[in-house]
C-alpha cells in the first residue's frame, strides 16, 4: 500500500484505466510484461535502447502499481533514459520520486539532470541543479562543470560559460576538448549572431590543440560506460548519435573540429568551413565521415549542389567504407527546392543506394517521402520510388508523409482505379483517425519488447 500511495493520483488513475480488476490469473499473466524488479529494470533498459523514452514514466507507474519497490539502479536507468530522450519533466519527476523513497541522488544522477537541462536549453534550471547538489552535500566533479558549461552553451549564454571556464582555470583544472566544444557552441548559439563569430570559432580551434595533456583528468565515468552513456551524449555534442558507428565514421581526436564544422554548417558559412578544411590539411589529418557530412550539408544549405556531389563522389571513389548517411544527406539536400536536376540526382542516388543493399530506416524514409511529395511540378518519379521502397520493406508510415504523398497524387489527377492510388488512399484513410493520438499505455507498448535487440541509430 505504501508504494501505491507514493505513485500519486495520476499513477492510480492510469493504472485503473488500463487494467481490469476482474481478470483471471492466466489472462493477467499474458498481459503482464514484468513481475519483479529485475524484469522491470530490463524493460526500462530496453525502452531506452529502442528510443521509446516517452514510455518510461508509464512503465514506472506500472511497477509502482505492482508493488515493486524501485532501487537506486532503477532510478539511474530511468533518469539516464529521460536524458537520452530530452524529457526534462520526467527527469525531475523521477528525481522527486527518488527523494520521496529516501534515496538521495549522487553526482552521476545530478550530472544526468544538468545534461537533460542542456538538451532542453534550460540553463537556468541547470544552474539550480548545481546549487541543489552543493546544498545536499554532493561534491561536483569535473564532468559536472563540463555538463553545466555545455548546458549554458546550448542556450548561447556566453557570460556564464566564460565564468565557468574562469572557475575551472583558477582551480588549476585545464580545459579539455569538451570545454572547447562548449565554447564553440556558445558562440554559435548566441543571439543575435556576432559579426566575428567565425573568427572566434577558428581561434578556439587553434587554442584547443593543447587539450590532450589533460585528457585523463575527466575521463569517462565507469558508471556512464556501463549505462551506455558516452561523454559526447552527456555533453550534448552533435556527434552524440554517431559514437557507436563502425570504425572510420567518427575519430574522437577530432572532437573540436566536429563541433566547429557543425557550427559553420548551421551558420551556412562556406568560407569559414573551407578554412577549417585547410587547417586539417596543414595538420596532415583527413576528415572523417562526420566532417564530410557537415561539408556536404554546408554546400547544400548554401545551394551549391555540384560541390556537395563532388565531395560525395570523391569519397565513394576512395575505396573507403561506405555509409548510408552519405547517401541520405545528399538525397535530402538535392530535393530541397524540387529542381528537376536535384530530383533526378536524388532518384539516381536512391537507386544506387538500393543496388548496394543500403536500406533506409523508417524515420529517414518518412522524412524523404514527406520532402519528395512536396514536388508540385515534376513527374513525381522520386516520390513514387520512395513510396515503393517503403512498401517493399513494409515500413511503418507516418500520417504527415502519407498525407503529403496522397495530396500530391490527388493533384495529378491519377485514375481512381490506379493500383497505387487505391493503396495510398486506403493507407491514408487507415492512418487519418490515429493522427495525433497517443502511443497507448506502456503495458501494451512494452509487452513484446525483445531485450536482446538494439535499435540502430537513425540519421
Q: CA quadruple 195, 197, 199, 203: dihedral positive or negative?
A: positive
pLDDT per residue over 56-111, tens digit each? 999 999 999 999 999 999 999 999 999 999 999 999 999 999 999 999 999 999 99
Picking from 77, 84, 107, the residue whose alpha carbon sits closest to that of residue 241 is 84
In the block, cell 536482446 appears at: 452
Question: In the prediction, which pLDDT does 169 show?
Answer: 85
Question: In the prediction, which pLDDT does 228 show?
Answer: 75
pLDDT per residue over 274-312, tens digit each? 999 999 999 999 999 999 999 999 999 999 999 999 999
The DSSP call for residue 174 is P
Q: Is the pLDDT of residue 124 over 60?
A: yes
* Mean of pLDDT over the chain: 86
Question: In the prediction, which pLDDT does 139 show?
Answer: 92
pLDDT category of residue 198 using cuts at 50, 70 and 90? very high
pLDDT category of residue 216 using cuts at 50, 70 and 90? very low
Q: Is the pLDDT of residue 143 over 60?
A: yes
Question: In the prediction, which pLDDT does 27 show?
Answer: 59
- Report the range of poorest mean pLDDT among 83-92, 241-250, 367-376, 428-437: 428-437
The DSSP call for residue 244 is T
Q: Is the pLDDT of residue 39 over 50?
A: yes
Q: Residues 257, 145, 213, CA angle at the centre, nearest 5°?
A: 50
Q: Is the pLDDT of residue 12 over 80?
A: no
Question: In the prediction, which pLDDT does 229 show?
Answer: 85
Question: In the prediction, which pLDDT does 17 show?
Answer: 42
Residues 386-396: what's their mean pLDDT? Answer: 96
pLDDT category of residue 176 using cuts at 50, 70 and 90? very high
The DSSP call for residue 437 is -
**DSSP per residue, 421-432:** HHHHHHHHHHHG
Picking from 206, 220, 227, the residue whose alpha carbon sits closest to that of residue 252 is 220
- d(Cα 187, Cα 263) in Å, to the nearest integer? 9
Indicate the pTM of the whole model: 0.84
Q: How many Å from the N-terminal Cα to the C-terminal Cα in the chain?
A: 45
Question: In the prediction, which pLDDT does 225 show?
Answer: 58
Residues 171-180: what's their mean pLDDT? Answer: 87
Q: Is the pLDDT of residue 116 over 90?
A: yes
Residues 211-238: what's their mean pLDDT? Answer: 68
Question: In the prediction, which pLDDT does 448 show?
Answer: 42
pLDDT per residue over 397-433, tens digit each? 999 999 999 999 999 988 989 999 999 999 999 998 7
- d(Cα 373, Cα 371) in Å, to the nearest integer? 5
Residues 25-53: what's their mean pLDDT? Answer: 84
Q: Is the pLDDT of residue 268 over 80?
A: yes
pLDDT category of residue 247 using cuts at 50, 70 and 90? confident
In the block, cell 503482464 appears at: 32
User: How many CB atoms neighbour CB 173 within 10 A?
Assistant: 17
Question: In the prediction, which pLDDT does 33 show?
Answer: 85
Amino acid at each position: 500500500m505504501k508504494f501505491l500511495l507514493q505513485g500519486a493520483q495520476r499513477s492510480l488513475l492510469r493504472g485503473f484505466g488500463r487494467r481490469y480488476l476482474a481478470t483471471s490469473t492466466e489472462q493477467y499473466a499474458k498481459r503482464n510484461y514484468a513481475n519483479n524488479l529485475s524484469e522491470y529494470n530490463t524493460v526500462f533498459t530496453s525502452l531506452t535502447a529502442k528510443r521509446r523514452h516517452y514510455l518510461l514514466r508509464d512503465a514506472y507507474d506500472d511497477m509502482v502499481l505492482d508493488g515493486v519497490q524501485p532501487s537506486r539502479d532503477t532510478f539511474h536507468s530511468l533518469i539516464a533514459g529521460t536524458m537520452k530522450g530530452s524529457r526534462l519533466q520526467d527527469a525531475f519527476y523521477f528525481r522527486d520520486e527518488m527523494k520521496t523513497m529516501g534515496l538521495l541522488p549522487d553526482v552521476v544522477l545530478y550530472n544526468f539532470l544538468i545534461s537533460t537541462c542542456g538538451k532542453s536549453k534550460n540553463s537556468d534550471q541547470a544552474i539550480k541543479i548545481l546549487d541543489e547538489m552543493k546544498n545536499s552535500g554532493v561534491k561536483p566533479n569535473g564532468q559536472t562543470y563540463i555538463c553545466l558549461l555545455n548546458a549554458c552553451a546550448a542556450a548561447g549564454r556566453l557570460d556564464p560559460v566564460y565564468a565557468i571556464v574562469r572557475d575551472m582555470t583558477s582551480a588549476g583544472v585545464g580545459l579539455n576538448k569538451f570545454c572547447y566544444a562548449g565554447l564553440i557552441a556558445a558562440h554559435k548559439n548566441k543571439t543575435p549572431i556576432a559579426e566575428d563569430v567565425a573568427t572566434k570559432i577558428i581561434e578556439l580551434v587553434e587554442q584547443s590543440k593543447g587539450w590532450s595533456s589533460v585528457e585523463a583528468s575527466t575521463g569517462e565515468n565507469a558508471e556512464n560506460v556501463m549505462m551506455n552513456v558516452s561523454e559526447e551524449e552527456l555533453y550534448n555534442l552533435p556527434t552524440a548519435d554517431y559514437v557507436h558507428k563502425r570504425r572510420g565514421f567518427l575519430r574522437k581526436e577530432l572532437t573540436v573540429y566536429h563541433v566547429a564544422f557543425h557550427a559553420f554548417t548551421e551558420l551556412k558559412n562556406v568560407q569559414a568551413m573551407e578554412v577549417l578544411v585547410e587547417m586539417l590539411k596543414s595538420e596532415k589529418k583527413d576528415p572523417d565521415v562526420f566532417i564530410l557530412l557537415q561539408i556536404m550539408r554546408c554546400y547544400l544549405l548554401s545551394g551549391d549542389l555540384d560541390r556537395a556531389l563532388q565531395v560525395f563522389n570523391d569519397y565513394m571513389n576512395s575505396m573507403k567504407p561506405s555509409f548510408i548517411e552519405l547517401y541520405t544527406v545528399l538525397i535530402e539536400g538535392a530535393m530541397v527546392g524540387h529542381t528537376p536536376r536535384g530530383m533526378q540526382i536524388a532518384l539516381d542516388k536512391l537507386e544506387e543506394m538500393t543496388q548496394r543493399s543500403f536500406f533506409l530506416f523508417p524515420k529517414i524514409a518518412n522524412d524523404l517521402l514527406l520532402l519528395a511529395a512536396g514536388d508540385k511540378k515534376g513527374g513525381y518519379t522520386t516520390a513514387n520510388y520512395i513510396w515503393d521502397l517503403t512498401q517493399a520493406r513494409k515500413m511503418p508510415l507516418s500520417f504527415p508523409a502519407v498525407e503529403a504523398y496522397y495530396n500530391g497524387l490527388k493533384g495529378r489527377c491519377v485514375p481512381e482505379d490506379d493500383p497505387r492510388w487505391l493503396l495510398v488512399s486506403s493507407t491514408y484513410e487507415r492512418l487519418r483517425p490515429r493522427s495525433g493520438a497517443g502511443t497507448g499505455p506502456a503495458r501494451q507498448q512494452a509487452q513484446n519488447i525483445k531485450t536482446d535487440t538494439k535499435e540502430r541509430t537513425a540519421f
